[in-house]
Amino acid sequence: MTDCILIGAPVDCGKKRRGCLMGPDAYRTAGLAEALASLGHGVTDIGNVAPDKVEVAPPRNGVVHELALNVGWTAALMRAARAQAPNGFPIFMGGDHALSLGSVAGMAAHAEEIGRPLFVLWLDAHSDFHTPDTTTTGNLHGTPLGYVTGREGFDAFPELPATVPVSQVGMIGLRSVDPEERAALEDGEATLVDMRMIDEIGIAKPLSEFLAKVEAANGMLHVSLDVDFLDPAAAPAVGTTVPGGATVREAHLAMEMLSDSGLVASLDLVELNPSLDERGRTAALMVELTASLMGRRVFDRPTPRGH
């Protein structure tokens, strides 16, 4: 069994719509720790991380939102990831996707320290491959993969101890990619799986192929699960809804395949906005998906009340 380390990351500065700061407590209320413990895992909740206080020069791109606060969160979460990764399986409870600027950078540093390549699986409607210079919205939750892969324009951010080559990134569930991001990604070797591909051939084949790459390289895998990977009909509690997302069953299949692989070393749960939820059902679904990733199977599921 695994020692799971819950890390609260109430980041709410990666975009302008507020609410993700309530995410960590929503996961706690939805029983994330209890679900993991019921599977036999050890669980430690270290509480919520706080951002470093930093001063930065004004951004070159005037639309960038809350640059200093995003930099402060990145530094703090990178440090938390590096500190906790040797102790078990970090689960970063967000918080918007800007938290991954720090979580992935910290996990990449840890992977380099132990001599293994870090691969990143991005389960998201968006590619989040912008930089502070290319973003047109100013929302830095759209930049984590740009940062950790070493794109230019992140001068204000902490220097990366290790970068993640684009060839070690897999993006599944894509259905909203800006033209600038598309052009940059087409130059690289990332695994790109949009919803059309999933409609045509299913989610299992491309995910299996990506996992085979990770295994062949003796890699470790960081999974970043955005609520908007899911169709908004199943998961409404997100400010960046894009119709046509993954079904609940597709998402559970992906989590079960990830569990079977034995390759996953850390997890982000991002973009949950409890103020947009319906009686906590999105938080509950994200907890269920995490349980599938950590080993729960269909026949292990608790029977719903009344059955």
3 state DSSP class of 16: coil
97 is in an annotated binding site: yes
Structure confidence at residue 186 (pLDDT):
84
| CB-CB neighbours of 280 under 10 Å | 14
**Catalytic: which of 52, 268, 271, 288?**
271
Structure confidence at residue 304 (pLDDT):
61
Is 97 a known active-site residue? Answer: yes
Residue 152 CB-density burial (10 A; 0-12 exposed, 13-18 middle, 19+ buried): exposed
Distance between CA atoms of 259 and 261, rounded to whole angstroms? 5
Is 300 a known active-site residue? Answer: no
Q: Does residue 238 contact residue 227 with C-beta atoms inside 8 Å?
A: yes
Q: What is the mean pLDDT of each run of 10 residues along the chain (307 residues)?
A: 97 97 98 98 98 97 98 98 98 98 98 98 97 97 98 98 97 94 88 97 98 98 98 94 95 98 98 97 98 86 57
226 is in an annotated binding site: yes
Structure confidence at residue 306 (pLDDT):
55
Is 260 a known active-site residue? Answer: no
Q: Does residue 27 contact residue 93 with C-beta atoms inside 8 Å?
A: yes
**Catalytic: which of 97, 110, 130, 252?**
97
Structure confidence at residue 128 (pLDDT):
97
Closest of 299, 237, 249, 231 to residue 29, by C-alpha: 237
**Catalytic: which of 12, 66, 96, 124?**
124
